[in-house]
């Protein structure tokens, strides 16, 4: 049984707080884990390092992933998730400020489920996150 549903991988604390606030508005943040860089995300997902106590089978329902992060970037995190038999079916939504076509192409080549560019305007950001949360947590039907 999942004890959490959303893994938010975001190094920018302001963007993380806005994302969490938008998800809370729709009662979707009560089972959210926030990690601050790609290395911590990989440790959490694969139950290693400081997260070695975690049950590896307790996977998130969706991963919201930034690309431009310290230590390990989001593309490398995505590569590791999608290349592992145990984790490749977890939906990954890239939420980033990068509109660069090579990033978009590489993410889809690696198997990202959705690529969303962070809206700059506050109200649009909140709406985009709310819509993402509602879609991935309420409407989407994942494989069992």
Low-confidence ranges of the chain (pLDDT < 50): 1
Tokens of 33: 């884990």
In a domain, residue 132? The reply is yes
d(CA 131, CA 140): 12
Residue 91 lies in domain: 6-137
Tokens of 39: 């290395």
The answer to whether the beta carbons of residues 9 and 63 sit under 8 Å apart is yes
Which CA distances in Å does 106 have to 16, 30, 36, 111? 24, 32, 22, 9
d(CA 37, CA 59): 18
Residue-wise pLDDT for 30-46, tens only, equals 789 999 999 999 999 99
Domains of the chain: total: 1
In a domain, residue 143? The reply is no
Q: Provide φ and ψ at 125, rounded to 5°.
A: -60, -50
Determine if the pTM surpasses 0.85: yes
Residue-wise pLDDT for 19-34, tens only, equals 998 888 888 777 899 9
């Amino acid at each position: 049984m999942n004890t959490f549903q959303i893994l938010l991988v975001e190094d920018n604390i302001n963007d993380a707080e806005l994302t969490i606030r938008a998800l809370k508005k729709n009662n979707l943040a009560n089972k959210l884990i926030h990690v601050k860089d790609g290395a911590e995300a990989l440790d959490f997902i694969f139950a290693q390092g400081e997260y070695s106590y975690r049950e590896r089978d307790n996977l998130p329902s969706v991963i919201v992933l930034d690309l431009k992060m310290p230590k390990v970037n989001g593309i490398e995190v995505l590569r590791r998730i999608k290349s592992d038999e145990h984790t490749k079916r977890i939906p990954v939504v890239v939420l980033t400020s990068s509109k660069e076509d090579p990033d978009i192409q590489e993410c889809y080549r690696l198997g990202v489920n959705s690529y969303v560019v962070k809206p700059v305007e506050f109200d649009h950001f909140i709406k985009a996150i709310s819509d993402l949360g509602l879609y991935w947590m309420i409407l989407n039907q994942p494989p069992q």
